[in-house]
Each structure stands twice: as C-alpha cells, then as structure tokens.
C-alpha cells in the first residue's frame, strides 16, 4: 500500500466518527491513535528505534515535543484570540501559526521577516 493510501485510510478512519466516539479523544489518545501513526506513515522514527550515526548527532533523537508545542500554541491562540474558526479558513490560521512558530527564535522582528519575503 502506498503512503498516500495509508494516510487516506488513517484519515478516513477518524473522519466519519460521530460525537459519542469523539468524546474519548483527548490529547493523549489523539497523539497515540492518529498523530504518531501519521508520522510513522511519513517515515518518521517516532519510537526512536533507529539510532543516529556517531559523530555530531550522536545521542540525538527525534521527538514529538515540537509538534506538541505547536498544537498547544495553535489551540490556545485560536481559543483566546479568535474564539472559533470556520473550516473554510482553518488552513490559513494553521499556516499563520506555522510561520510564527517556525520564526519564534528569530532575532529580527516578524515585520522585517515578512517584508524580506515580499
């Protein structure tokens, strides 16, 4: 089965759930049952089963803390700033917060970063 088919199967599995089934999906269940399998289908070693080669990356590991931090920031800001978003514009909000998260450690202002891209 191709990667696209595996991901489509995973999405289909959760897309058709009704409200009774969705209630059991807290953050930990969503991570375990959807996010980690999705990353595994994309080729990530989320279980750290493959050790990196010796050298500069010795002891480094792939972890999900960054994605958890991103989703935490996104949920908090959407709930706090916008209160709710429509499905139509959800991708735009995710793109905005993805950009903010990826540039959170930049030393120059966000405004200058955006101007350089125009």
Res. 115 pLDDT band, cuts 50 70 90: confident
The rounded mean pLDDT for the chain is: 76
User: Is 96 part of any domain?
Assistant: yes
The DSSP secondary structure of the chain, one letter per residue, reads: --HHHHHHHHHHHHHT--HHHHTT--HHHHIIIIIHHHHHHTT--TT--SPPPSSTTTT----SHHHHHHHHHHHHHIIIIIS---TTTHHHHHHHHHHHHHTTT-SS-HHHHHHHH-
User: 59 pLDDT exceeds 60?
Assistant: no
Query: pLDDT (tens digit, 9 = 90+) per residue, 84-97?
Result: 778 888 888 888 88
Q: Are 13 and 37 in a shared domain? A: yes
Q: Are 34 and 71 in a shared domain? A: no
User: Is 12 part of any domain?
Assistant: yes
Note the pLDDT of residue 22.
67
Print the domain residue range for 22: 1-48
């Amino acid at each position: 089965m191709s990667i696209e088919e595996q991901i489509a199967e995973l999405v289909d599995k959760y897309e058709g759930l009704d409200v009774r089934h969705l209630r059991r999906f807290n953050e930990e269940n969503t991570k375990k049952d959807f996010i980690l399998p999705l990353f595994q289908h994309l080729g990530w070693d989320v279980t750290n089963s493959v050790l990196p080669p010796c050298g500069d990356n010795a002891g480094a590991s792939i972890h999900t803390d960054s994605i958890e931090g991103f989703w935490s920031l996104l949920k908090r800001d959407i709930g706090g700033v916008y209160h709710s978003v429509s499905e139509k514009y959800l991708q735009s909000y995710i793109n905005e917060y993805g950009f903010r998260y990826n540039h959170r450690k930049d030393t120059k202002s966000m405004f200058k970063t955006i101007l350089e891209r125009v």
